[in-house]
Amino acid sequence: MEEYKGTIAEIIFHNNENGYTVAVFETELEAFTVVGNLPAVSVGRHYRLRGEFTMHPTYGEQFAIREFEEELPSTEDGIRDFLASGAMKGVGRKTAAAIVERFGENTLQVIEEDPGQLCGISGIGPKTAAKISEAFKQHREFANITLYLQNYGINSHYAMKLYEVYGADTIQAIEENPYQLVDDIFGIGFKKADKIAEKMGIAHDDRFRIQSGIKFTLTYFAGEGNTFLPQEELCEKTGQMLDLPMQQIEDNIAEMAFTGEIHVENLDNRTVVFLMPYYLAEQNVCKCLSMINDAGLKPVAGKIDSLIQRTERSTGIFLSENQKHAVTSSLKMGVSVITGGPGTGKTTIINTIINILEDSGLKTAIAAPTGRAAKRITETSGHYASTIHRLLEYYFSESENRMRFGRTKENPLEYDAIIVDEASMIDLLLMNGLVSAIRPGTRLIIVGDSDQLPSVGAGNVLRDIIDSEYIYCTKLTEIFRQAKESMIVVNAHRINKGEYPDCNARDKDFFLLHRSREKDMLQTIKELCLTRLPDYYTDLSPVADIQVLTPVRKGLLGSINLNKELQEVLNPPNEALEEKTFGDRTFREGDKVMQIKNNYQMAWKNLEDFTEGEGVFNGDVGFIRKVDREFNELTVVYDEVRYVTYHFNQLEELELAYAVTVHKSQGSEFPIVIMPISWFPPMLATRNLLYTGVTRGKRVVVLVGSQNKLEGMVDNNRIKERYSGLVYRLRRIFSMETAGGDADDFDQMDQ
């Protein structure tokens, strides 16, 4: 690495959150652009920088900072600039000049060791002098900590996070147990902490290492959808990762269970291990469902059969016997489930239930797991639907520095009925938040397609509830006349039954374009989006109305590469279009983009009715209206009217959305869906993934690829098993109640 000593002359860009900086750095001989992490940087600060020069394709030669060391100035001019740079809060240029004029090159020594002398300067009293001294000490403290952490490969971004949590005790905390960083610092995982510990010489079999490894394994598999792991499997996988014998892992599991860090129990005749949040959530979901299911309900305004008939006459839509049964059970039961595939009338049933509840004066809420799903429900039902998070008044608690639900057991939802659609997407922790906030006496109606992909988060909530047979469930299987005319609907059901889809029927809406090579598939997808489909369906927009879905993110046919290729043909570079490169992504005016995390504090403005609000949600799709390089901002329009402004340092929340994974598409519908059918990993090339992708299409579905691979996906009914205890706990309640057990025994039944 090269090393340079100099001063920050100009700051081009600085991210306060992570310290990422682009600046002009002046040495005695030259000035050049530097990029890297410099927390709390300001003009006039002196640094010793280590790194290397790199060539950026757009911005030319830059010095990439790998390590830095701030140096305190020794000259009067340097000290004056340092004090006025913003490093010392409350000291402006005038005050800085007065202090340096009085104490000269001894200024910093006076500030640190004898700040009382500052009181002799006009405008500085004892309190101000103490604040200046404390700010200087904190500045020195953080600089020393940052320098220390660099020895262990911890950059300034994480140094800032560590200092915010541990303050002056940062070094002591790391030396005592570097593995606590995994729990305390977002972004530092087990592997990073393990490298730090190795550099510090911590023993390979240290109990902190083993116990952190156990939690890491449980957390990793929770990310794969599991709420627990069998103890034998946990010991095996953790032992392999740590290169330690299984017995040592087992001993530490026992110790962690004793201290309450994890929960161990016998479930379905095997010993299993939970992270405590998932164990407590499963317990609470079962308890709440039992209470809601057994509570008395406010009656509807008349006999249900008569109310259904009245609704049929007013809407002109008549229900089948099974649909009437679904409506009746939903109105009679505390908790009920309605499940079925496309075209089976779930929306009709929901609308009928809502009409009856509202006519009966019962206050009803409708919600879904994602903003896209909620919007679709609003459009199809004519009734407002919100996300579950918004229903539960999700907010940021500054005192706890984390997000919380405003609606809880102590502050429950004030509704007589709650309908939750797209329930296959609900994970265990979200379900726990929802049922905790529902008062007994409220109808909870759960609607979803249990054959779709399960939730991204841990748990198998909808399928577990259905399989337990504890909650009453109506299964819809009949496809109605209008839906029968759609090959999308017909083929979705064929796929779900393990039958091959009927493709390329004349004047229909489901096609397979045979291509055997991935290069040819990619080229065909580009042609379909650019010319072939827009030329035929002239009322549709090639960008807004055509959605490419893919099972994977990586590879030639993964969403990352597909987005680059489709951006190139659908919205190519143009001198008239501003763009911003962020990491490996380029965002250009006119691009189709997706929000990839829930941001409940992001402000938006509706330029149609001039209303304002907050909240942009994971999966929301919009279009870039403006890239403003002067103010480092990018504006995205959602739903054609909601304008959201992102600062350039927030662009990690956005991805291009010409192509998205099937998982990301859940809860959405698109006029035209295009999907490559090639070799994909067997765990992804499955029947229910194909089924989920196909059911996203409303008007046309075009598959591009191999007939053999398509049939292989239909044949692959390998549904990855998720370890979830919810189904067993619900079955226990069912068994207890069937046997006449006391509901008060619930809390003891898992002990």
- The whole-angstrom separation of Cα 171 and Cα 146 is 10
Give the Å distances, CA to CA, from 317 to 314, 354, 421, 447, 480. Answer: 8, 14, 21, 20, 12
Cα separation, 545 vs 539, in Å, equals 10
Q: Is 696 helix (H, G, I), strand (E, B) or coil?
A: coil
Q: Is the dihedral of CA 528, 531, 536, 540 positive or negative?
A: positive
3-class SS at 317?
coil
CB atoms within 10 A of CB 441: 13
Residue 731: both structure tokens together: 């079955």
Instruction: Quote the strand ranges of 291-416, DSSP E.
Output: 335-340, 364-368, 386-387, 394-397, 402-405
- Rg, C-alpha atoms of the chain: 30
| Angle at CA of residue 661, ends 655 and 667, nearest 5° | 95
Q: Does 6 count as an annotated binding residue?
A: no
Q: Is 583 annotated as a binding residue?
A: no
Neighbours of 627 (CB within 10 A): 20
Contact 496, 452 (CB under 8 A): no
The upper half-sphere exposure of residue 175, i.e. CA atoms within 13 Å in the direction of its Cβ, equals 7
State the Cα torsion 590-592-595-600 to the nearest 10°: 50
Strands 659-661 and 546-550: parallel
Query: 615 among the known binding-site residues?
Result: no
**Ramachandran area for residue 375 (φ above 0: left; ψ -120 to 50: alpha; else beta):** alpha
Which two three-digit tokens encode residue 385? 């639907």
- The reply, when asked if residue 343 is annotated as ligand binding, is yes
Residues 149, 158 contacting (CB under 8 angstroms): yes
Is 448 labeled as ligand-binding?
no
- The residues, any chain, with a CB within 8 Å of residue 112's CB and separated by 6 or more, are 133, 136, 137, 140
DSSP 8-state secondary structure symbol assigned to residue 480: P
- Left (φ > 0), alpha (ψ -120 to 50) or beta: where does 260 sit? left
Indicate the annotated binding residues: 343-347
Indicate the annotated binding residues for ATP: 343-347
